[in-house]
Amino acid sequence: MTTVKKYLSLVKFSHTIFAMPFAFIGFFLAIPVANISGNGEAGTMQGILNPILLQKGLLVLVCMVTARNAAMAFNRYLDRHFDALNPRTAIREIPAGILSAESALRFVIGNSIVFVLATWFINPLCFYLSFVALFVVLFYSFTKRFTALCHLVLGVGLSLAPIGAYLAVTGSFALLPLLFSFAVIFWVSGFDIIYALQDVEFDQSHQLNSIPAALGKERALWVARLLHVCSAACVTIAGVYGGFHWLYFIGYGVFVGMLINQHRLVKPHDLSKVNLAFMTSNGIASVVFAIFVIAALFLQYGW
């Protein structure tokens, strides 16, 4: 295995598919607002291809990748001793000896530095908030040690994607991208609870906190369902408030359908399809939804 592949495996790079599409939603939501703010032709196709906007898009991509790399690698670094004891996670890179703990920590520091530097080139607000964002995504790794609400902290970390991309273009906050951020909080928290069902016994025996460990599998699934209902509600409100083209609601249907599918696949007494629910359902939900939202924006604004 090459060094690059080792680090990509360490941070589960394929899981970038969860939050990245929402970052693109936030980015494209900001384009017509940037035009209103006097940034030339930002709301036209010529504006979309404007070098300055393309540069910001690239910087947003760099921020997304490096912040997530730092968060995941730090999680693996901090949890390495627990991972070594858990049969499900003992094959991960650090406990398996594929990468050293020191290498992982250097990877965290390097990605954190690149993340902050990238925000410096976006705008002052993003730079100042980069330290807050970095704190949130790194702090998540500690939360399982003292609160069952760790899933919500993870949700907050990933929810920075749409509002962060929006801020990169406009330099200001707005309700619509915040609605998408809240949708991400509830969506991610819900599917992280489902994923944590696999480690209930291990977490309980090692004094690690999670909603499944605290409430049991059946009640934890009901909490996940409630969170996913809240996520669907946020996406509904965003669609109505944003006055989106009807294409938006096709994507909405797929997103909600994939939320329902997760709960159809996973039962308290049968966790054999957790990974299918976690990766496939959520990957389809985010990518397809983003495609339809962005397509709706293109038609809505005549790009």
**Tens digits of per-residue pLDDT, 135-167?**
999 999 999 999 999 999 999 999 999 999 999
Q: How large is the angle between the packed helices 247-265 and 282-300, nearest 10 degrees? A: 170
pLDDT level of residue 288 (50, 70, 90 thresholds): very high
Residue 241 sits in a domain whose CATH number is 1.10.357.140
Reported for 100-109, long-range contacts at CB under 8 A and 24+ positions apart, including other chains, are 101/77, 104/10, 104/73, 104/74, 104/76, 104/77, 104/80, 105/73, 105/74, 105/77, 107/7, 107/10, 107/69, 107/70, 107/73, 108/69, 108/70, 108/73, 108/74, 108/77, 108/138
pLDDT of residue 39: 47
228 versus 278: the higher-pLDDT residue is 228
Distance CA(294)–CA(29), nearest Å, equals 8
The pLDDT tens digits for 12-66 are 888 888 899 999 999 999 988 875 444 445 445 555 667 888 899 999 999 999 9
Mean local confidence (pLDDT), 89-104: 96
Mean local confidence (pLDDT), 284-288: 95
pLDDT of residue 44: 53
Token representation of residue 228: 């996913």
Q: Is 133 left (phi over 0), alpha (psi -120 to 50) or beta?
A: alpha
Q: Is 160 left (phi over 0), alpha (psi -120 to 50) or beta?
A: alpha
For residue 255, the enclosing domain spans 3-300
Phi, psi of 273 (to 5 degrees): -110, 20
Q: What separation in angstroms does the CA of 168 have from each of 87, 125, 171?
A: 42, 8, 6
Rounded (5°) CA angle 249-253-256: 130
pLDDT of residue 40: 47
pLDDT of residue 33: 82
pLDDT of residue 46: 54
Burial class (CB in 10 A: 0-12, 13-18, 19+), 281: buried
Beta bridge partners of 22: none
Distance CA(197)–CA(216), nearest Å, equals 9
pLDDT of residue 275: 86
Mean local confidence (pLDDT), 284-298: 96
pLDDT of residue 301: 83
52 versus 198: the higher-pLDDT residue is 198
Distance CA(209)–CA(194), nearest Å, equals 14
Q: Provide the mean pLDDT of the chain.
A: 93
Mean local confidence (pLDDT), 272-295: 91
Contact in structure between 90 and 56 (CB atoms under 8 Å): no
Distance CA(177)–CA(302), nearest Å, equals 20
* Structural domain count, the chain: 1
Closest residue by Cα to residue 188 from 166, 150, 155, 227: 155
Percent share of the chain, pLDDT over 70: 95
Mean local confidence (pLDDT), 215-226: 98
pLDDT of residue 37: 45
pLDDT level of residue 97 (50, 70, 90 thresholds): very high
Query: Does 67 have pLDDT greater than 50?
Result: yes
Query: Does 215 have pLDDT greater than 60?
Result: yes
pTM of the model: 0.94
